[in-house]
Amino acid sequence: MGKALEGIRILDFTHVQSGPTCTQLLAWFGADVIKVEKPGVGDVTRAQLRDVANADSLYFTMLNSNKRSITLDTKNPEGKAVLEELIKSCDVLVENFAPGALDRMGFSWTRIQELNPRMIVASIKGFGPGPYQDHKVYENVAQCVGGAASTTGFDDGPPLITGAQIGDSGTGVHLALGIVTALFQRTVSGRGQRVDAAMQDAVLNLCRVKLRDQQRIQQGPLKEYPQYPHGTFGDSVPRAGNASGGGQPGWILKCKNWETDPNAYIYFVAQAPVWDAICNVIGKNEWITDPDYATPAARLPRLKAIFATIEEWTASKTKFEATAILSAHNIPCGPILSMKEIAEDPSLRKSGTIVEIDHPVRGSYLTVGNPIKLSDSPTVVERSPLLGEHTGEILRDLLKLDEPRIRNIEMSGALGERFPIAAE
């Protein structure tokens, strides 16, 4: 069976997390992704947070599946010439260098268009145009400037960073959508275009409901927030603790063994349509008709006490027992799963969302497979490439360079130390 993006070739100039997330998704959909890496070093994450000596780290292997790797010094004139050939042979260039790095390398948008007018150039930067456009940005900075940190955590504590990498991986996913959209438009226009995704913008897009609440707060207190009715509201969206971001109130409640197990909790949504079922399950039938509890509006000022009562029930069950009982009554809820539980979950293994991969240097490891499942383009996750593993085949088979030319490039030092590859 063919793959959705078969025939699309990506010149992958990405590093760390945000860009590699994007190109890994494109590779899983069938694009030929060629990762260009600095000779001798490669993507900095190859050596970061290493758990196995001299092997590519999990940081790298989990973000670079299904890609090919070529080492190329793009500041060396021979390396630049190879890069020009690659630009002519690829459909998309993806990069997440610090602002201006591609221009400094000599590959401005104008120059790339001269080389290949059909090329799509996709970039991730920390910020869009404005006072911060030249700043370097990492994940947590993006969470802070995109509105996530100020709205995460408890009212009496500092702003909090979430474990979900919404700045890096979140922006990578946005960029991937921009790229396939530009590829689609190219089928009509015949032209490439620039695709820019700023990390601040992507985080803000994911914090959309908080900008909703910023406007609602002008009209009065946010009644579904835990600050209501006894706390105070300022003029900006406060931290909502574990309150639900939607129209149905929710909270995290203790389950059996919470005293010793840090994840013995359940997320409970007191959804209005199943209120009667909630009352039945927790043994509070009188709440069904009591005017103080019978309607969502009546419940809002009492949410804290209502959840405390529900918690008396959840604390008597394990999170899995509580989930099973509540789900049988169609009450929305979910156990707080630890990473250990997720890693061992048989259904996630079966669906290909968690995959075990073999690697020639580090041995087998777990990774998150493609979370987006296409029925006509199933994903087979393959290991990440070793540094420069495909340099020879890309020069020979893709760029069709002959042996004397390859020898010249090699002699110039543009490919780094690991070679000779000429007539290897």
- The residues of the shown chain that bind ligand COA, judged by CB under 6 A, are 16-19, 36-38, 72-75, 96-98, 101, 104-105, 124-126, 136-138, 168
Pick 86 or 310: Cβ nearer ligand COA:
86
Nearest alpha carbon to residue 311 among 248, 246, 242, 245: 242
Phi/psi region, residue 352 (left: phi>0; alpha: psi -120 to 50; beta: rest), is left
141 vs 255, beta carbon nearer ligand COA = 141
Return the closest-CA partner of residue 122 out of 224, 17, 11, 207: 11
Smaller CB separation from ligand COA, 17 or 314: 17
Minimum Å gap between C-beta 85 and ligand COA is 15
Q: Which DSSP letter does residue 356 get?
A: E
Q: Give the shortest CB-412-to-ligand COA separation in angstroms.
A: 13
Beta-sheet strand order (sheet of 250-254): 250-254, 265-269, 333-335
Whichever of 79 and 249 has its CB closer to ligand COA, that residue is 79
Q: What is the C-alpha separation between 399 and 49, in angstroms, rounded? A: 35
Contact between 197 and 175 (Cβ < 8 Å): yes
The type of residue at 350 is K
Q: 101 vs 177, which CB is nearer to ligand COA?
A: 101
Tokens of 283: 């043994």
In the bound state with ligand COA, the residue whose beta carbon lies nearer, of 166 and 237, is 166
Least CB distance to ligand COA at residue 86 (A): 11
Q: Is 88 helix (H, G, I), strand (E, B) or coil?
A: helix
CA distances from 66 to 234, 251, 343 (A): 49, 40, 21
Q: State the nearest-atom distance from the C-beta of 395 to ligand COA, in Å.
A: 15
Query: What is the C-alpha separation between 42 and 103, in angstroms, rounded?
Result: 20
Residue with tokens 């995109």: 146
Burial of 129 (0-12, 13-18, 19+ CB in 10 A): exposed
Q: How far is the CB of 414 from ligand COA (least distance, A)?
A: 9
* Sign of the CA dihedral with 173 first, then 175, 178, and 183 last: negative
Beta carbon nearer to ligand COA, 32 or 78:
78
For residue 67, the one-letter residue type is K
Minimum CB separation from ligand COA for residue 12, in Å? 11
Taking the complex as a whole, the smallest distance from the CB of residue 410 to ligand COA amounts, in Å, to: 16
Provide the 10 A C-beta neighbour count for residue 277. Answer: 16
Report, as residue numbers or ranges, the catalytic residues: 168
Report the nearest approach of ligand COA to the CB of residue 24 (Å): 13
3-state SS track over 146-199: CCCHHHCCCCCCCCCCCCCCCCHHHHHHHHHHHHHHHHHHHHHHCCCCEEEEEH
Do 372 and 396 touch, CB atoms closer than 8 A?
A: no
Nearer Cβ to ligand COA, position 9 or 38?
A: 38
Q: Which of 335, 320, 327, 244 is nearest to 281 (CA)?
A: 327
